[in-house]
Amino acid sequence: MVDIPSMLPIIQAIPLFSTLSEAQNKEIIDGIVMNYYPKDHVFFDEGDAVNENSCMYIIKTGLVQIDKKETFDHYKKVTVLEQGKFFGEMAFVLNEPRNARAITLGECEVFELKKATFTKLMENSPESAQKISEEFMNRLKQNG
C-alpha cells in the first residue's frame, strides 16, 4: 500500500486530479501501486491499445523518455520526464491507442493507477468524474 501523506501532494500536483478534494484524492491513492523497473523497460509503445489493465504512471525515482516513432525501428525523443511527473493519462482517459512510447532511461520506481481502478472511482463518485472531465477538457484545449 502507498503512504497517503507522502503521496497526496504528488497526486494534487497532477492537473487531472488537482481540482479534487483531499478525500477524493485519497480514493485515487488507495488504488495506486508502486513498481520497480530496470533500464530500457518499455511501459507502452506508440499504437498500443488501451484496456482495463492499462495504467497511467507517476515517476517516484528515475527518468522516463517519451518518444515518437519516425520509421519502423527509429524513435525521436519528445521529452524526458523526472520525479513527480506523470504520463499515460491521455490514452487512459480517451480510450485511444497510445500516441507515443515510454521507456526507462535507468532504474525507475513508478506509481501506477490502473484504468479499471480509475473507472470504478468515476462510477462511484459522479462529482469526481465531473471534476476530472472538466480538467481533462481544459488540458485538451491547452494542448491544441
Neighbours of 141 (CB within 10 A): 8
CATH code, 9:
2.60.120.10
- pTM of the predicted model, to two decimals? 0.81
Q: Residue 121 and residue 31: Cα distance in Å, rounded?
A: 9
Q: Is residue 106 part of a domain?
A: yes
Lookup: cell for 69: 516513432
Q: Is residue 65 part of a domain?
A: yes
Q: Residue 103 and residue 95: Cα distance in Å, rounded?
A: 21
Domain count, the chain: 1
Q: Is residue 35 part of a domain?
A: yes
Is residue 48 packed enough to be buried (19+ CB in 10 Å), middle (13-18) or exposed (0-12)? middle
Per-residue pLDDT tens for 76-97? 999 999 998 888 887 777 888 9
Domain that holds residue 8: 4-136
Q: Higher model confidence: residue 19 or residue 39? A: 39
